Structure 1
Amino acid sequence: MAYLMPSEFVTKMVDAGESKIYMSARDTLVRGYMAGAILALAAVFAVSVAVATGSHLVGSILFPVGFCMLYLMGFDLLTGVFMLTPLAWIDKRPGVTIGQILRNWGLVFVGNFAGALTVAVMMAFIFTYGFNTDGGAIATKVAGIGKARTLGYAEYGLAGWFTIFIRGMLCNWMVSMGVVGAMISTHVSGKVMAMWMPILLFFFMGFEHSVVNMFLFPFALIMGGDFSIGDYFLWNEIPTALGNLVGGLAFTGLTLYSTHVRTAPKRKLEARTFAATSNEAA
């Protein structure tokens, strides 16, 4: 069958989380690096399309191409491991510890950041012809986004910080739905369709994705964005990553696991008794 039942794909989620925990440091870093680089290319592609067409919707429709490519190649995003790896611990898989989970998150974060930063520098070099021009309309657009999504939040203090946090939660709710969606189908076309829908939603709605931001904000700084590295981490990356963690695990991982693996007791006996009583009455 091209479609897996929920009980089947949720078990795949737990298996995937366990396998990522036991992956070697080298493989984790390489897969994280490539995921960050590909997603960064997708982000600059989407911004370029939006600037060229004047339509944020068109850019949002095309952005998921990066997510689909990196997932099909087996690369890892921080947002995905936030949701998958804790399930192996919750499921009491042998030998899985909190320390191993944190190790995996740390390695994936480093890999994602290195990949995204590499693409940020490369694209900045391209747009400025070796840092000899101002970068044009795309550089101006990204620099403005960087300032608006750091200092723009900072203007509202704690409320602004929690706004980013909630946007991060909503983002990884959708992104992790894309990860799970790819496990539902055994066909490439089905995987792509299942991934495309939630990724399109998060990007168009302007939710905050920690790995996309690993590219966007360094690129904006290189392009002359009027904010600091400290502003980026305090007023975006940290609350975004925390929101991604909570949203992906709470809204997707735990909800699916709790109702499709650790299901509540089914009232089969009561149901049969009720049916028999109804038949006798009829």
Structure 2
Amino acid sequence: MDYAKPADVVAAMIDAGVRKLELAPRDLLVRGALSGALLGAATTLAFTGAVTTGQPLVGALIFPVSLVMIVLLGLELVTGSFALVPLARFEGRATWSAVLANWSWVFLANLLGSVAFGVLIAIALTNMGKTDVVGVAARIVAVAEAKTVANAALGSAGMVSVFVKGILCNWLVCLGVVMAMTSTSTVGKIAATWLPIFTFFALGFEHAVVNMFIIPTGMLLGAKVSLADWWVWNQIPVTLGNLVGGFVFTGLALYSTYKPARQAVPAPSAAVHAAAE
């Protein structure tokens, strides 16, 4: 049996958090950029499936390929780090400043990788701007506008809803990262990861790194979205929602109920006291 019990999974989560904090900024940048690009590629593939078949659920079935690759290669995704890295602090094996530094480097790296892939795919989809924005390119534009200016039109209701969608999203995304730790086989990790990731994408929740790809790529393709629209009405509230969802609903929740018991130092026996006297 390659199944790991929940208590063993939480121990693995703590170890993963410690290992992430030991990585140098160079490694965080490389691994984080690759993760951002992979999420962009999977999102494009998911949109392709949805546009081709007319069934959004097909896109949701496809999308988890990105997190599977990220998990199997040990790459860095800030949304997963929101759940795992603080556990090292709870165990007294790191400082909060180290946690914040890790999150900052990985966030930057995810952003760079997502935008870089967005530039490349925008070129590919429009032949360097020589063809019309149709099909998948048009879907990216529509989704980028729906995630930003449509929220702005709703005012405070839009801000709250996108924040809540960020919470729900990263609760499920981090469960996907954690579920991969329940198996030691490649096939088991793939199957376990797939379930919550498919669920989040099918339900239309908000993922900060996915949006790092969709929104700027939509802007490149002609979406009527400004930088302020992107960051104020989506990127910032979604990132904060992802932080709450991953940190509180997954990392902290599982740690609080399955955390490793601290070994107490045994009290000296009566024979020891007698010998000492």
TM-score by length of 2: 0.92
CA distance in 1, matches of 2:78, 2:19: 15
Give CA deviations for 1:115-157 in whole Å, capped at 9, x if unaligned. 1111100100001111212232222111111111111111221
CA distance in 1, matches of 2:19, 2:123: 38
- Mapping for residues 152-231 of structure 1, pairs under 5 Å: 152-231=150-229
- Secondary structure at the aligned position of 1:132 is classed as coil
CA distance in 1, matches of 2:17, 2:190: 21
Gaps of 5+ in 2: 262-277
Alignment-derived partner of residue 101 in structure 1: 99
CA distance in 2, matches of 1:151, 1:136: 21
Alignment-derived partner of residue 277 in structure 1: none
Give CA deviations for 1:150-189 in whole Å, capped at 9, x if unaligned. 1111122122111111000000000000000000100111
CA distance in 2, matches of 1:195, 1:223: 32
CA distance in 2, matches of 1:202, 1:55: 16
Query: What's the offset of the Cα at 1:91?
Result: 1.5
Alignment-derived partner of residue 274 in structure 1: none
Alpha-carbon contact 2:7-2:260 (below 8 Å) kept: no
CA distance in 2, matches of 1:158, 1:130: 38
Amino acid at match of 2:27: D
Alignment-derived partner of residue 142 in structure 1: 140
CA distance in 1, matches of 2:221, 2:202: 23
The share of aligned pairs that are identical, in percent, is 44
CA distance in 1, matches of 2:230, 2:240: 14
Amino acid at match of 1:38: L
CA distance in 2, matches of 1:227, 1:216: 12
Query: What's the offset of the Cα at 1:46?
Result: 0.3
Aligned residues: 262
CA distance in 1, matches of 2:189, 2:234: 31
Alignment-derived partner of residue 68 in structure 2: 68
Alignment-derived partner of residue 25 in structure 1: 25
Gaps of 5+ in 1: 264-282
Alignment-derived partner of residue 265 in structure 2: none
The 4+ residue runs of structure 1 with deviation greater than 4 A are none
Alpha-carbon contact 2:11-2:260 (below 8 Å) kept: no
Alignment-derived partner of residue 2 in structure 1: 2
Give CA deviations for 1:209-267 in whole Å, capped at 9, x if unaligned. 0000010001100111011111010000000100000001111111110111167xxxx
Alpha-carbon contact 1:175-1:199 (below 8 Å) kept: yes
Q: Are 1:232 and 2:230 counterparts?
A: yes
Query: What's the offset of the Cα at 1:110?
Result: 1.1
Give CA deviations for 1:34-63 in whole Å, capped at 9, x if unaligned. 111111100001001111111100111011
Alpha-carbon contact 2:32-2:109 (below 8 Å) kept: yes
Amino acid at match of 2:50: A
CA distance in 2, matches of 1:151, 1:235: 7
Alpha-carbon contact 1:50-1:56 (below 8 Å) kept: yes
Give CA deviations for 1:3-31 in whole Å, capped at 9, x if unaligned. 11111110110111111112111111111
Alignment-derived partner of residue 131 in structure 2: 133
- Secondary structure at the aligned position of 1:3 is classed as coil
Alignment-derived partner of residue 273 in structure 2: none
Q: Are 1:89 and 2:89 counterparts?
A: yes
Amino acid at match of 1:109: F
The RMSD of aligned alpha carbons is 1.2
Alignment-derived partner of residue 244 in structure 2: 246
CA distance in 2, matches of 1:208, 1:260: 28
- Secondary structure at the aligned position of 1:136 is classed as coil
- Secondary structure at the aligned position of 1:155 is classed as helix
Alignment-derived partner of residue 59 in structure 2: 59
CA distance in 2, matches of 1:60, 1:218: 21
CA distance in 2, matches of 1:70, 1:80: 10
